[in-house]
Amino acid sequence: MPKYGRGLNREIVGAVNIGMILEPFSINEVREFVEKRKWGVTDNYLNVCLANGSSLEHSLTYKKYFVSLGDGKYRLVQDYKGDKWK
């Protein structure tokens, strides 16, 4: 069972799709989002979620929601954009 809503990365996907987080985004925008939700997420956990959610080498079973643009910036993978991902 996820700790944060539907799971932290899935919640980030939803927030991007409704415009709460604008692309490209970084840990700073995600931190603001989780603070508004009053989720006690550490920066280390946020960094790991974003890195693992964008790394094609991390795990075959970990969903790759994000593309790393470098310099700590990310955007959603095109497959996770749209109304069904809100």
Decide yes or no: CATH 1.20.120 for domain 8-85: no
Domains of the chain: which residue ranges? 8-85
Are residues 4 and 41 in contact, defined by beta-carbon separation less than 8 angstroms?
yes
HEC string of 16-83 equals HHCCCCCCCECHHHHHHHHHHCCCCCCHHHHHHHHHHCCCCCCCCCCCCCEEEEECCEEEECHHHCCH
- Burial of 77 by CB count in 10 Å (0-12 exposed, 13-18 middle, 19+ buried)? middle
Q: Which two tokens stand for residue 74?
A: 């990310």
Per-residue pLDDT of the chain (86 residues; tens, 9 = 90+): 567 888 999 999 999 999 999 999 999 999 999 999 999 999 999 999 999 999 887 787 888 999 999 999 999 999 999 988 98
What per-residue confidence (pLDDT) applies to 76? 97
